[in-house]
Amino acid sequence: MSANIDVRVREVGLRDGLQLIAGFFPTAEKLAWIRAEAAAGVPEIEVTSYVPPKLIPQFVDAAEVTRGALGIQGLTVVALIPNLKGAERGFSLGVHKLNFVMSVSRTHNLKNVRREREESVADLRRIVELRNALPEGARPLVAAGLSTALGCSFEGRQSVDEVRRWAAELAASGVGEIVVADTVGYGDPAQVRAVFKAVMAEIGPIPVAAHFHDTRGTGLANVAAALDCGVRRFDASLAGLGGCPFAPGATGNIVMDDLCFMLDSMGLSTGVDLGKLVAVRAVLERNLAGAELHGAFARAGLPRNYRSAAERMHS
């Protein structure tokens, strides 16, 4: 992590958001979004998903989007993968990071990736093996997401022990990051504390990222709770796009612009220029006519006499 960044934010709207959008978001406009957000200082972007285009046609341009994003200096380019085939696509494109997904909820895992959880773990082990056999310099970081960790719209709340158990499986697979995800926005700050503490105690030094949805308005409160547990990596999406097509009732991720403002005002540097970030919303406005764009910070602007985390650090 760069010395002057306290918290690493990752944009996931191009994947989590666009997977729900019925119309095709033009490839050039996806790249315009990625370029503008990288220029605003967002260090990492999940740019696409290596899933069958028959299943989610929005990602038919995954290769072109990945290649375009890889041309942006300094940006960590991430793609979601559901299986080994997705990983192979990522290896051949040279993407920096693969985000493998499985769910704590057995029902959601079956609906989302059509596998038992044990089969997903076996797939992940094979992916890490193949990744480790690649030449040095060509090895993407393999991250693993644990979806529905704070609740599932089929099964309801998942026990902390069950989340811990699957986190241990992911850790034993040799992944470089674990993303604990509240896929359907069931989590509350007390639960976040319990789950993240248990996961972090279980997996030792592997970095943990948090992926929250604001479905019931608890998103940023959950961020504050995860910060208290020591989490320093957060997923979010510009204007709060997002949701899983295989989880009924799933709506948007926490709003990237609001997250960056909150962190910055807490004195935690993200490296993101808030003004430039809000300006990127224009790409969404011109491509998603009629879609609901969220964001309290974009509406209200900076408080009077606001001093950024970086300004405060240097005075």
Residues annotated as catalytic are: 244
Q: How far is the CB of 75 from ligand COA (least distance, A)?
A: 22
Q: Smaller CB distance to ligand COA: residue 85 or 299?
A: 85
Interface pattern 241-270 for ligand COA (x via CB under 6 A):
---x-x------------------------
Query: Could you tell me which stretch among 16-24, 54-62, 189-197, 269-277 binds Zn ion (CB under 5 A)?
Result: 16-24
Name which of Zn ion, ligand COA, none residue 215 binds, using a CB cut-off of 5 to 8 Å depending on partner kind.
none
- Tell me the site size for ligand COA, rule CB under 6 A: 20
214 binds Zn ion (CB under 5 A): no
CA distance 82 to 20: 17
Terminal CA-CA length for the chain: 23
85 binds ligand COA (CB under 6 A): yes
Q: Smaller CB distance to ligand COA: residue 30 or 89?
A: 89
Name which of Zn ion, ligand COA, none residue 52 binds, using a CB cut-off of 5 to 8 Å depending on partner kind.
ligand COA
Burial class (CB in 10 A: 0-12, 13-18, 19+), 92: exposed
What three-state secondary structure class fits 245? coil
Beta bridge partners, 178, equal: 144, 208
Which has the closest alpha carbon to 140: 188, 94, 184?
Answer: 94
DSSP string, 119-163: HHHHHHHHHHHHHHTSPTTS--EEEEEEETTT-BTTTBPPPHHHH
Q: How far is the CB of 243 from Zn ion (least distance, A)?
A: 7
**275 near 240, Cβ under 8 Å?**
no
- Binders of ligand COA among residues 123 to 162 (CB under 6 A) are 147
Interface pattern 86-125 for ligand COA (x via CB under 6 A):
x--x-----------x----------xxx-----------
Could you tell me the two tokens for 216? Answer: 């019931």
Which has the closest alpha carbon to 29: 290, 279, 288, 295?
Answer: 288
CA distance 56 to 28: 18
CA distance 115 to 130: 20
Query: Could you tell me which stretch among 11-19, 112-120, 162-170, 200-208 binds Zn ion (CB under 5 A)?
Result: 11-19
41 binds ligand COA (CB under 6 A): no
Per CB under 6 A, residues contacting ligand COA are 19, 49-52, 55-56, 80, 82-83, 85-86, 89, 101, 112-114, 147, 244, 246
Per CB under 5 A, residues contacting Zn ion are 16
